[in-house]
Structure 1
């Protein structure tokens, strides 16, 4: 399971990187400085691709942390059967991997979970056009 999730996560990440950011709607986080500040939309979009293509219904997880010398920060990722699936973790200086699929990772030790919701029950309408852009360019 872990290897399959990682393969898909990497493929989605690589596909997003090949798309001209200007093709995404202005309200989409992928339009700006991906992966920085794009964790929410990226997680939702990855989750929808997993759901539609592999019948994997992940949880969208949002957490927050008070980091040394910084104001409170938030981060979002997917949860599935104990795994944390994240294609934007490298926006943090200490992370080099473009995709994390782990049951335990030091990054998430600093984040308290604020909310958790199923992708199948919460995919936002405003991301449908961004989803179509990625779906039409990815081969998984």
Structure 2
């Protein structure tokens, strides 16, 4: 079942704003120049949030364009990207679309369900998971997990 794009955009923007509200310098180092260099970790955490909000599991996708890499989420043909504005010419803070013109420029390196990155006892569990709970603590109370 496809998620409502406007609802998905609203949740994604809310999550991005919570990252900034909490304070990027208080988060793991990968967030210190947010959105620059934060795409992988931000996508993993956003995937967890969207899943907890009842939208199901998204794929974590990583691609390369020349010497640059980028990561975002995808599900049912919908791309969700809260860090694309780190690239020249991208003005949207949050991209939620079924039009992948920007993303298809990247040669896909790998994809897997976002959840596969959790539970391995590594950086994601040790550093990112605690950061996730700090970020969601800064969310508006408008939405409740299912």
Which residue matches 1:13?
16
Q: TM-score, normalised by structure 2?
A: 0.84
Q: Deviations over 1:65-92 (max 9, x none)?
A: 12xxxxx210000001101100001111
Unaligned segments of structure 1, at least 5 residues: 67-71
CA RMSD of aligned residues (A): 1.4
Give the whole-Å Cα distance in 2 for the aligned partners of 1:59 and 1:94: 25
The answer to whether the aligner puts 1:86 opposite 2:51 as a matched pair is: no
Unaligned segments of structure 2, at least 5 residues: 119-123
Which residue matches 2:33?
33
Given candidates 4, 7, 22, the residue that maps to 1:4 is 7
| Structure 1 residue runs of 4 or more that deviate by more than 4 Å after TM superposition | none
Once the two structures are TM-superposed, the CA of residue 121 in structure 1 deviates from its matched residue by 2.4
Q: Is the 8 A contact 2:84 2:90 kept in 1?
A: yes
Q: TM-score, normalised by structure 1?
A: 0.87
Give the whole-Å Cα distance in 2 for the aligned partners of 1:19 and 1:8: 16
